[in-house]
Chain A
Amino acid sequence: MIEFIPPAFIFIAGALLVPLLRGRVKSAYMLILPAISFFFLINAQVGTAWEINFLGFDLVPFKVDRLSLIFGYIFHLISLIGIIYTLNIKSDLEYMAGLVYAGSALGVVFAGDLFTFFVFWEMLTVSALWLIWARRTKASQAAGFRYLMVHVFGGLVLLAGIIMYISEQKSISLGFIGLHSPATYFIFIGMGINAAWPLLHTWLPDAYPESTVGGAVFLSAFTTKTAVYALARTFPGTEELIWIGAVMTAFPIFFAVIENDMRRVLSYSLINQVGFMMVGIGIGTQLSINGTAAHAFAHILYKSLLFMSMGAVMFRTGKINATDLGGLYKSMPWTALFCTIGAASISAFPLTSGFVSKSMVIDAAAHGHMSIIWLALVFASAGVFHHSGIKIPFFAFFSHDAGHRVKEAPPSMLIAMGIAAFFCIFLGVYPKFLYSILPYPVDFVPYTASHVLFQLQLLMFSALAFTLLLLSGIYPAEIRAINLDSDWLYRKGGRLFYRAMDKSLNAINKAVEQVFVGQFLVELTNHVKRLPPTVLAKICWPFWKTAYEAPDKKTIHENLLKRARSGFYPISIIGLFAAIYFALLFLL
């Protein structure tokens, strides 16, 4: 019998069958795929590695260790939740793209060599693109193209790095790399683009809010977390990541506060959460790497839960801007409840998953006595509660009643949200489950009296700040507007570049045409036409002058010019050329 099939294969090959099936069979089939794959995975031993020799390189298309396993588990769980969520959105394109996308992420996570890693990494981009384009709006098309451009660029940077690295190391095995040579910097930045580092992040809040209702759920789970896995595998303990991560946790919350599109608010808070994981990788201790893995696990669940709840709101009302929403708890109470659970988890309330995972990273920073980083992380924790924890549920489900009287989300969506909400609380109440699958042994106790109290103080006083600011009218009103981000550089800058190139290069082109074609070539042809007779006249004049009935110089010149135009010269002249030619042959 078949002993083992890699998850990536099951997902990607499985996706191909989706369009052939119909109705309930299709639904059942899609639900079974992650289940089968998960069954194989839990039977895989840590340390399993398949090696294939290919053109002198050792390909390792499948390799299991504890770091890849935890990412493998959560990717399976979220695929299942995502599939349940999209069951009533009858779109084969989304199903196939979603499965291939999840399969590619699993391919990256279990890749044991750089070649396999890179192939799946690129498939991730290509399949994600269809989840954006499947929305079939002009905005999603444009955002998809920008997404593609950024990730193709990132992929090329990564590829350049990988090629240089392989030629340095003479091996393609994937393991710790660390920053030490130009090749490694290329790899580092290539991965950083997928991890949405500051200034390289704009593809995320640009594209995710333009994707489909179900697409955003998949998107929020895989691309950035695959990059988190990749960095945790290749660059643990790289100090730069601590600072990159700290900036990532802090700056998006400012944007999130003034953003109107709810899914864009979630996109900014996604960057903020990935920032915590970057800090964890950068610190590089066992506690911090555990914290990163645990936080990725918890984050995928509550972030997708928040995206699912906002997707359900969009599915029912057709609106997603805070200015168009409010009071939805009346018609969508379950969605409101699940959203609130997700919001509590992302804010790291005690008894939710965020509390037991985020505190590992913050404690790791404290253990390392990184005071500025620690202050930034605590600031970001308060801030994330402010914009994701309160703003999202408050403006969508409470606040002023926007008058939407819609049906509750469809059952499949509610079930998917229910499962995610269950895990958010389960992991918070019973963290041992999460801790038991972390890469390193855990001796971390999240529930100490002081820790719980201080976290509650931090959060509740943030809530007080929100309440007072809202009641006093200082809280920024939601405005129908967009906010610029560093993608301005390539969105407006791209156009500016085009215009500048258009103006300058086309002007040069025009000038050159005028000078070269209009004047120079005309002059040249005239000159070429006149040159032979002029030269001839010069050469022959001394001889003709001595002839007895020589006409004057001007007449001879004109005669020669006429002959030159018709290509007809007196024999004597041809003879002269022939003589010169033979003389040259003889001399040389």
Chain B
Amino acid sequence: MSTEDTEKKHIFDSPKNVQKVLYGLFGCLVLLLALEPFVHKHSYFPWEESFGFYAIYGFVACVLLVLAAKYILRPLVKREEDYYD
């Protein structure tokens, strides 16, 4: 089984399939934004009214999260694996 496994081409071994996934993702994003005007909003907060609030918030939040974790938190807390030994 293991020899068969190594020879067999798997779905994400081909860059084409990876690209398809990416295009799929981009297509979804456009679709999700395109649908927004057709949806009746019942907002609790004023900022929910603005177009694409959730999309922008999700994107910005994640970018800030990663940047903060990488450039602020990691230099502060990273130690060798045997730090406590």
Interface residues of A (CB under 8 A from B): 253-255, 257-258, 329-331, 366-367, 369, 371, 374, 378-379, 382-383, 386, 398, 405, 407, 448-450, 453-467, 469, 474-476, 479-485, 491-492
Contact = CB atoms under 8 A, between A and B. Distances in A.
Given A371-B45, A450-B40, A258 B69 contact: yes
Contacts of A474: 66-67, 70
A83 to B, nearest CB: 29
Nearest to B63: A465
A258 B36 contact: no
A475 B54 contact: no
A453 B36 contact: yes
B63 A469 contact: yes
Interface of B: 1-2, 5-6, 8, 10, 12, 22, 25-26, 28-29, 32-33, 35-36, 39-42, 44-45, 48, 52-59, 61-63, 65-70, 73-74, 76-81, 83-84
A331 to B, nearest CB: 6
A490 to B, nearest CB: 11
From B52, B65, B80, residue with most partner A Cβ within 10 Å: B65
Nearest to A480: B81
Contacts of B67: 474
A382 B39 contact: no
Contacts of A459: 58
Given A258-B73, A458-B57, A467-B22, A482 B83 contact: yes
B21 to A, nearest CB: 9
A465 B5 contact: no
Contact of A462 (B59, B79, B81, B84): B59
A252 B15 CA distance: 34
A344 to B, nearest CB: 14
Nearest to B9: A330
B42 A460 contact: no
Contacts of B32: 453, 456-457, 460
Contacts of B41: 450
Nearest to A362: B44
B62 A383 contact: yes
25 contacts: A254-B68, A254-B69, A254-B73, A258-B74, A258-B77, A329-B12, A382-B62, A448-B42, A453-B35, A453-B39, A454-B53, A456-B28, A457-B36, A457-B55, A460-B28, A460-B29, A461-B29, A461-B59, A467-B25, A474-B67, A476-B69, A476-B74, A480-B81, A481-B80, A483-B79
A295 B33 CA distance: 29
A371 B74 CA distance: 29
B3 to A, nearest CB: 9
From A454, A466, A480, residue with most partner B Cβ within 10 Å: A454
B33 A457 contact: yes
B78 A258 contact: yes
B81 A330 contact: no
A491 B84 CA distance: 8
